[in-house]
């Protein structure tokens, strides 16, 4: 009798273990941009890698265009912390609204090249920012680089800061962008991205700035005639997950998700590099004139940015973090 009871308990325990081992977990992952955007393509690669590394036990379903959070990124961060969103990819500049230290990443001409940006995001400074996300109730899985930002406009080639004088430029609703473009003589105009195409078409604004793939995916080539490869600002993407949902995963699946995040970042860098050439070719084919700055011309823009470092430090609201950032990239 006792033996049969013990065997029954053991069998039940084994069945529970087997059930747990075969349990399926599905996460939703929201991105703010369309299916063909660099970030949604990378999100899909991440989802593919998660499935591979967990043997299909964890599935990530990607939802582009901010559809799961009504297009309101600030609300999305709060929903992620509250658990109504599972996973989220949003720009580091957006997180500056919650933690001004993230502003440091977008200081104009802070990074000399993509390699330096990647080292910053994955190194001690980036790790500090990722750890800070816990203060707003979310778990950071990593930060991915975004292609450097370029300028487009409908008026003239931009080859020097003086060429921006008087141009109405759309910028994100972030004081760092406003201060930089104002210093160069432009009229910075904060505006939601969804409004930009119509504003360009109606000539309410003359130009905008974004990574080079954005004028392609948003069809700005229909309402813009000039693009300049200024590489004036960096930005990143935060891959984040609801902590409770992350902690519910067994340890091997947590490791798999983190490894997938690392590998997806490397894939994204390669894909972005290939996409830059394709985007420039497309814009040229659509009739836009593409300008590349010489090192001397780019230095003129960088010198303007350097003059604003004291202002940027105030926007970061953490002098120590700003100073350590500047030291980390050798721009003292």
Do 111 and 161 have their domain in common? no
pLDDT value at position 332? Answer: 80
Residue 15 domain flag: no
Residue 14 domain flag: no
Q: What is d(CA 291, CA 151) in angstroms, rounded to the nearest whole number? A: 10
Q: Are 54 and 85 in contact (CB under 8 A)?
A: no
- % of residues, the chain, pLDDT over 90: 88
pLDDT value at position 5? Answer: 45
Residue 292 domain flag: yes
Q: Can you give the CATH number for the domain in which 273 is found? A: 3.40.190.170
Joined tokens for residue 105: 């990443």
Give the residue-averaged pLDDT of 78-91: 97
Q: How many domains is the chain built from?
A: 2
Task: Note the pLDDT tens digit of each residue in 252-292.
Answer: 999 999 999 999 999 999 999 999 999 999 999 999 999 99
Task: Note the pLDDT tens digit of each residue in 223-234.
Answer: 999 999 999 999
Residue 99 domain flag: yes
Do 183 and 306 have their domain in common? yes
Give the residue-averaged pLDDT of 32-41: 91
Residue 6 domain flag: no
Give the residue-averaged pLDDT of 297-326: 97
Q: What is d(CA 79, CA 205) in angstroms, rounded to the nearest whole number? A: 33
Give the residue-averaged pLDDT of 240-252: 98
- List helix spans (H) across the chain: 2-22, 38-53, 73-82, 92-95, 114-122, 124-132, 175-183, 196-201, 214-217, 243-247, 251-285, 295-307, 309-316, 319-328
Residue 257 domain flag: yes
Q: Are 89 and 30 in contact (CB under 8 A)?
A: yes
Do 86 and 219 have their domain in common? no
Task: Note the pLDDT tens digit of each residue in 169-213.
Answer: 999 888 999 999 999 999 999 998 889 999 999 999 999 999 999
Question: Is the pLDDT at 12 greater than 50, yes or no?
Answer: no
Do 261 and 321 have their domain in common? no
Residue 89 domain flag: yes
Residue 10 domain flag: no
Q: What is the rounded average pLDDT for all residues in the chain? A: 93
Do 222 and 161 have their domain in common? yes
Do 201 and 299 have their domain in common? yes
pLDDT value at position 181? Answer: 98
Give the residue-averaged pLDDT of 103-118: 96
pLDDT value at position 193? Answer: 86
pLDDT value at position 173? Answer: 83
Residue 136 exposure: Cα atoms within 13 Å on the Cβ side = 20
Give the residue-averaged pLDDT of 146-164: 97
Do 57 and 93 have their domain in common? yes
Do 246 and 138 have their domain in common? yes
How would DSSP label each residue in 198-237?
A: HHHHTTSSSEEEEETTHHHHTTGGGT--EEEE-----EEE
Do 136 and 171 have their domain in common? no
Q: What is d(CA 145, CA 115) in angstroms, rounded to the nearest whole number? A: 10
Q: What is d(CA 123, CA 28) in angstroms, rounded to the nearest whole number? A: 28
pLDDT value at position 4? Answer: 54
- Name which of 2-6, 42-46, 129-133, 156-160 the model is least confident about: 2-6
Do 305 and 184 have their domain in common? yes
pLDDT value at position 22? Answer: 56
Comparing 200 with 35, the larger pLDDT belongs to 200
Do 258 and 116 have their domain in common? yes
pLDDT value at position 7? Answer: 54
Domain enclosing residue 181, as ranges: 149-233+278-328
Do 244 and 106 have their domain in common? yes
């Amino acid at each position: 009798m006792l033996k049969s009871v013990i065997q029954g308990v053991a069998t039940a325990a084994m069945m529970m273990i087997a059930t747990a081992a075969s349990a399926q977990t599905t996460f939703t992952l929201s991105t703010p941009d369309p299916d063909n955007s660099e970030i949604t393509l990378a999100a899909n690669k991440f989802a593919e890698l998660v499935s591979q590394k967990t043997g299909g036990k964890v599935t990530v379903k990607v939802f582009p265009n901010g559809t799961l959070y009504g297009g309101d990124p600030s609300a999305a961060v709060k929903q992620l912390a509250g658990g109504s969103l599972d996973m989220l990819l949003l720009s580091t500049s957006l997180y500056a609204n919650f933690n001004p230290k993230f502003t440091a990443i977008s200081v104009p001409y802070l990074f000399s090249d993509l390699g330096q940006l990647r080292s910053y995001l994955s190194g001690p400074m980036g790790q500090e920012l990722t750890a800070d996300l816990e203060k707003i109730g979310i778990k950071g899985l990593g930060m991915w680089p975004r292609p450097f930002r370029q300028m487009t406009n409908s008026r003239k080639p931009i080859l020097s800061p003086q060429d921006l004088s008087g141009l109405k430029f759309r910028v994100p609703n972030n004081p760092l962008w406003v201060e930089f473009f104002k210093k160069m003589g432009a009229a910075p105009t904060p505006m939601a991205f969804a409004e930009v195409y119509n504003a360009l078409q109606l000539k309410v604004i003359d130009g905008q700035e974004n990574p080079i793939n954005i004028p392609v995916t948003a069809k700005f080539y229909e309402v813009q005639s000039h693009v300049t490869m200024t590489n004036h600002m960096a930005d990143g993407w935060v891959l984040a997950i609801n902590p409770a949902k992350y902690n519910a995963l067994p340890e091997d699946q947590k490791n798999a998700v983190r490894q997938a995040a690392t590998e997806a970042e490397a894939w994204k860098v390669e894909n972005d590099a290939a996409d830059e050439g394709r985007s420039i070719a497309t814009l040229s084919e659509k009739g836009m004139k593409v300008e590349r700055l010489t090192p001397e011309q780019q230095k003129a823009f960088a010198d303007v940015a350097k003059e604003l470092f004291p202002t940027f430090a105030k926007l970061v609201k953490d002098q120590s973090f700003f100073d350590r950032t500047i030291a980390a990239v050798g721009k003292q």
